[in-house]
Copies of this chain bind each other. A is one copy, B any other.
Amino acid sequence: MAETFISERNLKFLLYEVFTITDLTGYPYYEDHSQEVFDMVLDAAMKLSKDLLLPVFEEMDKNQPEFVDGQIKVHPRVGEFMRAAGEGGWINANYSYDAGGQQLPLTVTLAAHFIFSAANYSASVYPLLTSGAARLIESFGTEEMKEKYFARMFSGEWQGTMAMTEPQAGSSLSDITTLAEPTDNGYYNMKGQKIFISAADHDGVDNVIHLMLAKIKDAPPGVRGISLFVVPKQRIDENGKLEFNDVHVSGIYHKLGYRGSPIVQLSLGDNGDCRGYLVGEPHKGLTYMFQLMNEARIDVGLGAAAIASAAYYAALEYTRVRPQGRRLTDKDPTLPQVPIIEHADVKRMLLFQRSIIEGSLSLLFQCSQYADYEKVLTGEERKRYSLLLDLLTPVAKSYPSEMAILSVSQGLQCLGGYGYCDEFPLEQYYRDVRIHPIHEGTTGIHGITLLGRNITMQKGRAYKVYLEEVHKTIQSAGEYPALQSQTRELGEALDVLNDVTQHLVGFAQEGKVGLFLADSTLYLELFGIICVAWQWLKQAITIRKALEHNLSGAEADFYNGKNYAFRYFFDYELPKISGLAKTLKKSSGITLAMTDHLFTD
C-alpha cells in the first residue's frame, strides 16, 4: 500500500497560487480565516486520513456491509470516523456561524474531501452525505427542524441521506410514486419504496435522517408534483425519545466496488406508521433537491479525481522500484535492468494520469470558487458566478468521473500482471472508481443537461459568460512566450467549440430536438476536454510566474513536473477534440434512425 495518496504541494498550489483563496478573507463572511487556518484544516484532514481512513481502505472492501437482522452492519471504523468527523467540525465546516458551522470556504472543505476520498473513498461519503442532507434543512427547513436534527447530524451521531431513486424511477425522477398523505397532526404518512440509497442504514450511527422526495396525495403529475420531506429512521417523540418510524431496510446491494459504503433498499410505512415532515413548500421538492444534487455532483467528480490520485501514487511507487527491461538505445542483456519508470511508454501513462487528475481538480476548485464568491458577492457579479457554476456543474461531475476510470486503468496497467492482483491496491481503485459516471446522474443525463438546458438557458448567457472567462485566461497567457502555442491551441479549440455549438443549437432552432441532443454525451466530452485545457493553461500561467524565480530542489522539480503534465494535456488530450468535432458536425442521426429490432443479431 502506497503511503502517498495525494500531493499536498499541488493542493496548495491550486488553492493559494492559482485560485488565491486567501482573497476570500477580504470579505466579511470569511474574514476570520487566513492561510494559516486553511493550512491547519488541510493538515488535520491529512492526519485523520492517515490515522483512520487509509489503514482500513482494503479491510472495508473485503468486509463489505451486510444486511443482518433487519439492520446494515458496517465496518466498526465507520462509526469512529463519523464521530471524529463530528468532533473535528468536518460535517458543518462550511455552514454559517448561525447554523453552528465554521464558515469555511467550500474550496477548502473540498480540498479536505479530496484528501479523505483519496485515502478511502467509501469511508469519506458518510459525513459528506450527512453534511449534504443537513444543507437542505438549512436552506429550506424550519427552525424547529434545525433544532431537532442539526446537533446530532453535525456531531456525526446521526447519518443523513438523499433518498430519491425508486424501482421505476432512476434517471426519471418525475416518475416517483412514494406517497405522502397529509394528516391533521403536521406530518405526512409516507408509503413507498426507495432503492440505491447510499448509507441509508447502518450500525455506525444512532439514527438516519432521510431527505426524501415523495408525492403528496393528489399532486400534479410529473416533476411539478414532487415534494421534499424529512423522514427519520427514528422519529423523536413528545418526550424527546427516539421511536421507530416504520422505515425498513428491505435489502442491500453487493457491488463491483465502493464496497465500504452500503447502498440500501428501503421500504416506508409497511405498518402505516411512517411520518414525513414537509420541507419548504409542497411541490417544490425537486428544485430544492437540485441544490443538494449540484453540490453532490461536484463531490462525485472530486471523488473520482481523488481515487485516480491514490491510484497514480500507487502506480508511481511501483514504477520506481520495479526493474524490467533496458533502454531502447541500450539493449545489452548483461547490463542490469532499469526501473520501468525509465521507459517512455510508462512515463506517458504516468503523465496521462497526472494531466487528468490535476486538470480535473483545477476544474473542481474553479467551480467551488464560483460557489464561494456567490456567497459574498451581489447583483450582476453574483449572477455571473451562479451562471458559471450552473453551466460547469455537469462538466465538473462527468469529466473527472469518465476520465478517472481511464486514469486508474492506466495506473493498473503500469503494474502489469500485479495490477490485476489484489495484493496491490490498483484493482480496488479500478472497481471503486467505476461508480462515478453512474451515481448523481449518469453521464448521458449530464450531456443532456449541459447541451439541452445549460448552453441554451437565458439565450445562451451562461455560455457567453463562460467564453469570456476562457478568453481572460487566453489573454493573460498571451504575455508568456513559453505559452504561445498552447494559448493559440486553446483559442482554436474555442473556435471548434463555437462552431459545433452553433451547429447543434441550429437543430434546436429548427425544432429538430432529436438531432440536437442525439450526441449530447459527445458534446459533453468535447466541452470537458476544452474546459480542462483552459484549467491547465490557467495553471501554466502560475507555473511560468514561479519559474521566473530562481528555484531549485523540490520546488523546481514541482513546477517543472507540472509543466510536463500541462504540456502532455495539450499534446495528447486536447487533440482529441478534432475527432469529436467531426462526429458532432456530421450529425448523421444514425442513433435516432436505428431501431430496437435491428439490434438482435
Contact = CB atoms under 8 A, between A and B. Distances in A.
Interface of A: 7-10, 165, 168-172, 174-175, 195-196, 221-223, 253-258, 263, 316, 320, 323-326, 328-329, 332-334, 337, 339, 341-351, 354, 405, 409, 412-413, 416-417, 419-423, 427, 430-431, 434-435, 437-439, 442-444, 447-448, 452, 513-514, 517-522, 554, 557-558, 560-562, 564, 567-568, 571-572, 575-580, 582-583, 586, 588, 590-594, 596-601
Nearest to A577: B579
Contact of A171 (B325, B347, B554, B582): B325
Contacts of A580: 575
A591 B345 contact: yes
A514 B328 contact: yes
Interface centre among A169, A409, A452, A594 (most CB of B within 10 A): A594
Contacts of A597: 557
Nearest to A13: B601
A578 B571 contact: no
Contacts of A568: 590-591
A421 B438 CA distance: 12
A393 to B, nearest CB: 19
Contacts of A316: 599-600
Contacts of A420: 253, 255-258, 434-435, 438
B591 A567 contact: no
A347 B9 contact: no
B438 A416 contact: yes
Contacts of A329: 513-514
Given A341-B596, A417-B196, A444-B345, A412 B430 contact: no
A578 B579 CA distance: 6
A357 B135 CA distance: 46
A553 to B, nearest CB: 10
A423 B583 CA distance: 36
Contacts of A558: 600-601
Nearest to A222: B333
Contacts of A258: 420
Contacts of A342: 596
A24 B423 CA distance: 48
Given A409-B434, A442-B416, A588-B571, A168 B427 contact: no
Contacts of A341: 596, 599
13 contacts: A172-B324, A175-B333, A196-B417, A221-B333, A253-B417, A316-B599, A344-B591, A348-B591, A349-B444, A405-B409, A416-B442, A558-B601, A575-B578
A4 to B, nearest CB: 9
